[in-house]
Amino acid sequence: MRGTGIQGKGKGERGKVARGLTVGSLVLVATLFVPGLAAQDVPARLTLEDALRLGREWNPQYRQAVVQADATGADVRAAAGAFFPDLRVSLGFSGSRNVTSVGQDDFGGNIDIDQSRTIERSSSSQGLNSSITLFNGLQNFYNLKSSKAGAEAAYYGVDAEAVTLDAQIKTRFYQVVAALRSIEIEQEILRIRREDLLTTERLFRVAARNQVDVLGGQANVASQEQQLASAQGEYRKALLQLAEAIGFDESVEFEVAGDFPEAFDPALLHAETLVDYVLRENPDLRQATASAARADFAASGARGLRWPSLSLSGGFNRSSSQQGYGGLWDFNPQNQAWSASLGLSWPIFNRFSTANSIAQAAATQDIQHELLRQTRLRLEREIRSALIDVENFHEQLLLADRSAELGLQRVAMTREQYQLGMTSFFELQQVVAQSVNDARGALNARLRYTNAVVELERLVGRSVRP
C-alpha cells in the first residue's frame, strides 16, 4: 500500500497528522478563461498568489468597487468648488427687421399706409459675470466634509471587496485542490478494486473463492469507475468556479499549481486579541464608520438650510446697438457697464421643504449609526464563531487523519490475509469500504478546516497564522 493516494501523512503541531493521501506538488492542467489576455500573459503555472493578483485585475465586482471609489474624487472636487466664485462669459449678436404697412388713426382704428416703413436694427453684447456664496449656514463646509467621508467610505469599501475577493479565490482554489485530490483517491481505490478482482479470480481458479465473489469484485470495479467519473466532473466544475472568481472569460490553457496550507494549532490564537484588532482595522467596520461620519456631516449641513444665505455677485458688460446691420459681429462694442450686488436671502417659509430635508437627513444619520453598531456586533460574533469553527475543524482533522491512517494499516493487513485465504471476500470489502470512507472524510475534514481558516482571515483582514 505504500505510495498510494490514500495513505500519505502530513505534519502538524501534534506530531504527524495524516493527510489521507500522498500528493506532493499539485499541478492542475485545465482550459480556463482569461479576459483580453493572450496565452503568454498568463503564468505557465498559476499559483494561488498569481490567482489573487489576476483577481485584483480582472474580477468585475472588484473593478466596479474601484471605479466607484475613484468617482468619489469628483464629488469632493465639486464640494470644494462651492467655496470658489463661479465665472460666466457671454457673447451675443442679434439683428431685427420690422416692416410696418398698417397704421392707426387718432381713434385707434387701422388705416392703410401708402408706403410701408422698414426698420432694421442690430446689436452685439459681451459679458463677464461672477458670483460667490459668502455664507449659507455652513452648508458648503459640511457638504465638503460629507463628501470626503463618503470618499473615505468608498475606498474602505474597495479594501473590504479586496478581502472578500481574496477569500473567495482562496476558497475556490482549495476546492480545485480538493477535487484533484479526490480524483487521486478514487484512482487509487479503483486500482485496489482491480487488484482485488484479479486476486479473487485467481483464487476462484483454484476453488478458494466462488463465482459470487468474482461478480462482487466486478461490481465493485464498475461502481468505482462511476465514482472516478463523478470526481473528474466535480474537478471540472471547480475549475469553472475558480475561473469565474478570478474573472477569466476567454479560453486559454495553463497550469495551476498549489496545495493545502499546513495546519496549525488554533490554541495559539486568542479571541480577545483578534476581536480588538478587527474592531480597529476591519475594512467593513471602517467603511461603516466613515458612512456614519458622512451622515453626521450631511445632517449638520441640512440644518444650515434654516440660516440666511449671503452672496456677492458682479459683472462687466459691453454692448452696442445701431440701425441697420452694422452692429452684427461687432467684437469690440464701446458701451460699457459695471455691476455689483450683495444679496441676503432668508427662507421664512417654503412649504415645509426645509423641515423635510432636515428630518430626512436626521433619519439617515440615525440609520447609519445603527448600521455601524450592527456591523460592530456582527463582526464580534462572527470572529468568535469563526475561531470556534477553526478549533472544531482542527480537532476533526486530527481525528479524521488518524482514522484514515489506521484504516490504511487495516486494509493492508486484511488484503494480505485475503490473498492467503485467511479472510472472506465480504470481510475484505467491508474493510476497504471503511478505509475509503475514512480517506474521503479526511480530505473533506482538511477542506473544511482550510475554509474555516480562510473565513477567519477574511474577517480579520490579514493572515492569522502564527
Residues 190 and 221: beta-carbon distance below 8 Å = yes
What is the pLDDT, as a whole number, of residue 253? 63
What is the pLDDT, as a whole number, of residue 14? 34
Residues 312 and 341: beta-carbon distance below 8 Å = yes
Q: Say if residue 375's pLDDT is above 80.
A: yes
DSSP per position, 208-227: SS-HHHHHHHHHHHHHHHHH
Q: Which residue has the cell 468568535?
A: 384
Q: Say if residue 36's pLDDT is above 60.
A: no
* Cα gap 61→157, rounded to integer Å: 12
What is the pLDDT, as a whole number, of residue 60? 93
- pTM for the complete prediction? 0.78
**Nearest to 196, CA basis, from 405, 397, 1:** 1
Q: Say if residue 223's pLDDT is above 50.
A: yes
Assigned C-alpha cell, 54:
489576476
Q: Say if residue 15's pLDDT is above 50.
A: no
Average pLDDT, the chain: 85
Q: Give the tens place of pLDDT for each residue, 67-126.
A: 999 999 999 999 999 999 999 999 998 988 887 776 666 666 767 666 777 888 888 999
* Cα gap 271→275, rounded to integer Å: 6
Assigned C-alpha cell, 424:
472472506
CB count within 10 Å of CB 415 equals: 19
What is the pLDDT, as a whole number, of residue 42? 64
Q: Say if residue 63's pLDDT is above 50.
A: yes
Beta strands in 324-446 (DSSP E): 335-345
Q: Which residue has the cell 446689436?
A: 123
Q: Say if residue 341's pLDDT is above 60.
A: yes
Half-sphere exposure at residue 208, Cβ-oriented, CA atoms within 13 angstroms:
14
What is the pLDDT, as a whole number, of residue 240? 86
Q: Say if residue 10's pLDDT is above 60.
A: no
Residues 98 and 119: beta-carbon distance below 8 Å = yes
> What is the share, in percent, of the chain residues with pLDDT greater than 90?
58
Q: Give the tens place of pLDDT for each residue, 432-446.
A: 888 889 999 999 999
Vertex 303, ends 299 and 308: CA angle to 5°? 150
Helix axes 425-460, 353-419, angle to 10 degrees: 150
Q: Which residues contact 202 (CB under 8 A, 6 or more apart)?
A: none
3-class SS of residue 351: coil
Question: What CATH number belongs to 9-86+137-308+351-460?
Answer: 1.20.1600.10
Q: Say if residue 257's pLDDT is above 90.
A: no
- Looking at 11-15, 166-170, 344-348, which range is the least confident one? 11-15
Provide mean pLDDT across the span 48-74. 93
Assigned C-alpha cell, 6:
490514500
Residue 189 vs residue 8, higher pLDDT: 189
What is the pLDDT, as a whole number, of residue 415? 85
Q: Give the tens place of pLDDT for each residue, 37-47.
A: 544 466 767 79
Q: Give the tens place of pLDDT for each residue, 296-328.
A: 999 999 999 999 999 999 999 998 888 888 778
Q: Give the tens place of pLDDT for each residue, 379-438.
A: 999 999 999 999 999 999 999 999 999 988 988 898 888 888 788 888 888 888 888 899
* Cα gap 289→145, rounded to integer Å: 14
* Cα gap 347→342, rounded to integer Å: 17
